[in-house]
Amino acid sequence: MLDLVRHWLTQMGVYAAHPTAFFIVTAYGILWFIFERDTFNWHALATMATWFMTLFIQRAEHRDTQAIQAKLDELLHAQSRASNALTHIDEKEPEDIARHRHEARKHD
């Protein structure tokens, strides 16, 4: 059950970085304005701005992480002594990656 929750949380982070997330938040804001106009005030605008900034930050972090992973994959493929098993470690859950790094440090 815990693995399912961890996987779901990781996927939610990936989905938040997708451009569709911006569309969803925009659609929510438009619908909020249409159906609850009396509650759409400065606080609502601040809420929408916070959501958009969160999505921008998440997208930038996701882009940077993907770029770093691509560079590391290229280095691993170029290095003849590198383990090919590490090329897919970015598909694992963060806790599994931390566990792998801890184990690798024990052997150094």
Give the burial string for 39-58 (b: 16+ CB within 10 Å, else e): ebeeeeeeebeebeeebeeb
E strand or H helix that includes residue 67: helix 42-78
Residue 16: other Cβ atoms inside 10 A: 20
- pLDDT tens for 58-87 read 989 988 888 888 888 888 778 877 777 777
E strand or H helix that includes residue 99: helix 94-106
More confident residue, 6 or 59: 59
Q: What is the pLDDT of residue 105?
A: 80
In the block, tokens 């438009």 appear at 30
Indicate the pTM of the whole model. 0.69
In the block, tokens 């970015």 appear at 90
Q: What is the pLDDT of residue 36?
A: 93
| Structure tokens, 22 | 């911006």
Residue 108 predicted with pLDDT over 70: no
Q: What is the pLDDT of residue 71?
A: 87
The domains of the chain are located at 2-106
- pLDDT tens for 9-62 read 878 878 888 889 999 999 999 999 999 999 999 999 999 999 999 999 998 998
Residue 101: partners with Cβ closer than 8 Å, 6 or more residues away? none
